[in-house]
Chains A and B, each alone.
Chain A
Amino acid sequence: MSVEAREARQPWILLAPAISAVTLLLLVPLIFIVVYSFWLRTATGADQVGFYLDNWQEALTDRFYRDILFSTLRIAAITTVVCALMGYPAAYFIARSRGNKVILLLLLMLPFWISYIIRTMSWINILGVSGALNTLLMSVGIIGEPINMLYNETTVILGLVHFLLPFMVLNVFVSLDGIDTNLEDAANSLGATKWQSFIQVTLPLSLPGLAAGGLLCFVLGAGTYITPLVLGGPRDAMFANLVFEAIITQLNWPLGSALSLMLLVVLGALVMIYNRYLGMAQLMKGLG
């Protein structure tokens, strides 16, 4: 074999294990559940192989699934907006601070490393009947009896915001940090107020980071089932909870396949739209 041919083959040898892993453990399984979603669950024994539209009919027409899909998207949207409102000023503060930016950023990213389940359950310590807030309010005398603040949609959103905020801050920071501050100075020297130069120069330039952070918050938020299980009430199930119920509790795998694919299509469409207009590069900047 010539040197060139060997040289050309080398990268493929290096890539082969990773590509086969992703193909066999992700791509083929995804195609498989498309097929599986047309099978039928039988009351006893193995699932009926064939081409049945029953699962899709149930998943797409049952009001119950549709309502939960919409409320999932609503919860994810609220979470994303709250993350943006909380995270943008914080990212701006870090990017423009005269102190040690890296330390400030690392400090805010620290909770990102702390276990998701611990961070989620930690809110029970704060908001529970004998939690920090109730104890505080009672000792000050504002309330006589502990109030039940937990297990509703608001606490689910709270938990999600706490989980996802670092993603938002990191992405906005990466974007803000890359903006040449001379641009702002130029706007100011041309007579713009600080506020004007922020609105007309800095904010538009940081929008890609905001969009990347927003996409991550939305997609990760809409795909969770742990937070609603820990911090939500019985009526706060999100779409991923339905998937979990179908697969793990009811063992209705064909229906679970259809529901998973529905979630994939809805969230995948968002990623596609994002990719179409902004490209994946921005997202990778924030992740890497």
Chain B
Amino acid sequence: MRWGWHLIRLWSLLVYGFMFLPVAVVVLLSFNASQFGSFPMTGFSFRWFVELWNNDAIMRAFRTSIVLGLLTAVISTTLGVLASLALVRYKVPGANAISTLLIAPILVPEVVLAVALLLFLNFLGLHKSFTLLLFGHVIFTLPFVILVVQARLVSIRRDVEEAAMSLGASPVQTFFQITLPLMLPAVLAGALFAFTISFDDITGTLFWKPGGVETVPTQIFAMLRNSISPEINALGTVMIVMTVGLPLIGAAIARQLARKSGT
């Protein structure tokens, strides 16, 4: 049976390779000095990152994506944290049905969600716009925030709050001085999750975005129509660093906070 385990290990190694190889190639090619976004490698260069910096369309897309991601994170996390508090801290009649309702946006295929929202808000007079885009991102990220925050919230012990209250703190004081600091890692995790999902979304975004407005993914998608330019690889590398780096930094901060608050 020893070799059976070795076989599994070899297989897993290949699976890891399959997952990482394409990403590694993007990073590799982004430093290629050649003027085509493909092999062979002709030399090491940062020129595509410089071109990226000087490309107005891409920088505009970046700004749009970041603003959209931040707004989505703030709104979605606020709604999600409040709902999670209710579901974890109170005995709500029909809690199961409510949970299912709140995660419904990820049970419905995103294309269908996109179409329904676009057509309905358009009927109400809200045409394709940044606002529509924001509504879409909020509703699509909300279930993820709720799932993440709820999972962390369960582990916060109630008796600390009860101790504060029994010592004379008002419910509001207790929330801001005890509950919120304890919840902070969960809140940050939820916000980070919402930001990342919003920043990465293309399926819904292509339906909701007004003409002329591009987010980073839709900008990449539009650029792909021609051919892979080396700039796309450079942009890919930046995105990889952002989407991988942000959660890692976030996790580190969360761990620090958790250590400080002593839970």
Contacts and interface: CB of A to CB of B under 8 A. Distances in A.
Contact of B38 (A14, A130, A169): A130
A144 interface: no
A29 B80 contact: no
Given A33-B115, A111-B19, A115-B239, A280 B86 contact: no
A87 interface: yes
Interface in A19-60: 19, 21-22, 25-30, 32-33, 36
Nearest to B233: A125
Contacts of B139: 21-22, 25-26
B72 interface: no
Contact of A226 (B16, B142, B202, B228): B202
A284 B80 CA distance: 16
A64 interface: no
A198 B94 CA distance: 39
A162 B11 contact: no
Interface string A77-98: 0000000001101101110000
A14 B82 contact: yes
A115 B217 contact: yes
Q: Which bracket fits the contact residues of A? A: 35 or more
Interface stretch (B23-31, B43-51, B156-164, B255-263): B23-31
The residue in A36, A90, A117, A248 that gathers the most chain B C-beta atoms within 10 A of its C-beta is: A117
A240 B113 CA distance: 12
Q: Which bracket fits the contact residues of B? A: 35 or more
B23 A135 contact: no
A267 B109 contact: yes
B21 A126 contact: yes
Given A30-B116, A125-B29, A224 B228 contact: no
Contacts of A118: 23, 26, 220, 235-236, 239-240
B149 to A, nearest CB: 9
A114 B109 CA distance: 21
Interface in A209-238: 219, 222-226, 229-230
18 contacts: A10-B86, A21-B79, A22-B142, A25-B138, A26-B116, A32-B123, A33-B115, A89-B12, A107-B16, A110-B19, A115-B243, A121-B232, A130-B39, A165-B18, A195-B1, A243-B112, A244-B111, A288-B147
Given A21-B79, A240-B111, 9 more contacts: A25-B135, A26-B105, A26-B139, A27-B104, A29-B121, A114-B239, A118-B220, A226-B206, A263-B111
Interface of B: 1, 4, 8-9, 11-12, 15-16, 18-23, 25-26, 29, 36-40, 78-80, 82-83, 85-87, 89-90, 92, 98, 100-113, 115-121, 123, 135-136, 138-139, 142, 144, 146-148, 150-151, 196, 199-200, 202-203, 206-207, 216-217, 220-221, 224, 228, 232-233, 235-236, 239-240, 243-244, 247
